[in-house]
């Protein structure tokens, strides 16, 4: 067993919009090779009161990116005098992802709510693209879900749905 293999998250992360906002979901397994390093990890991280991010890929990389973005958003909120928008949060995430693409390996889903556009989901995959989507899936476990979402997704669902 290779205990020195990088902690990777072997993850499934999902973000969806619905008629009242957004719902984010993630599994809780962090693996090092085949060993489960943490079976209760929290892959949904808070950036501000109204914006969260789902992390996948390298655990360290995604944590560091989240920490930087949380710091920048905090300063931005103080300067603006009002909560940051989801778009701004997602843009900061992608600037870090894109400008450091040679060093980072992390796919993120930014989701939140602001008073101007309501609930929004932005996917920021490996290369640092930013794409606003009605729903987003990510992580190595998401490949099994593309077919399911294609068939089952509909817009403006209720919270229970």
* Residues making contact with another protein (CB under 8 A): 76, 79-81, 85, 87-88, 90-92, 95, 116, 130
Sign of CA dihedral 48, 123, 59, 104: negative
Q: Which residue has the tokens 């979901």?
A: 25
Least distance from C-beta 120 to another protein, angstroms? 12
Least distance from C-beta 123 to another protein, angstroms? 14
Q: Which of 69, 100, 67 is nearest to 86 (CA)?
A: 69
**φ, ψ (nearest 5 deg) of residue 46:** -85, 135
Nearer Cβ to another protein, position 82 or 158?
A: 82
Least distance from C-beta 112 to another protein, angstroms? 14
Residues 111 and 122 sit within 8 Å (Cβ to Cβ): yes
Among 11, 32, 85, 106, the active-site one is 11
11 is catalytic: yes
């Amino acid at each position: 067993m290779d205990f020195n293999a990088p902690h990777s998250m072997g993850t499934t992360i999902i973000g969806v919009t619905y008629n009242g906002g957004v719902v984010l979901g993630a599994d809780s397994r962090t693996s090092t090779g085949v060993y489960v390093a943490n079976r209760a990890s929290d892959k949904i991280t808070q950036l501000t009161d109204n914006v969260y991010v789902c992390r996948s890929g390298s655990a360290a990389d995604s944590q560091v990116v989240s920490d930087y973005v949380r710091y920048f958003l905090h300063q931005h909120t103080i300067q603006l005098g009002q909560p940051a928008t989801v778009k701004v949060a997602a843009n900061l995430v992608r600037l870090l992802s894109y400008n450091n693409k040679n060093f980072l390996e992390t796919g993120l889903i930014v989701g939140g709510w602001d008073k101007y556009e309501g609930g929004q989901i932005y996917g920021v995959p490996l290369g640092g693209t930013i794409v606003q989507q009605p729903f987003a899936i990510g992580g190595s476990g998401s490949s099994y879900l593309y077919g399911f979402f294609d068939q089952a997704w509909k817009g403006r669902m209720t919270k229970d749905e």
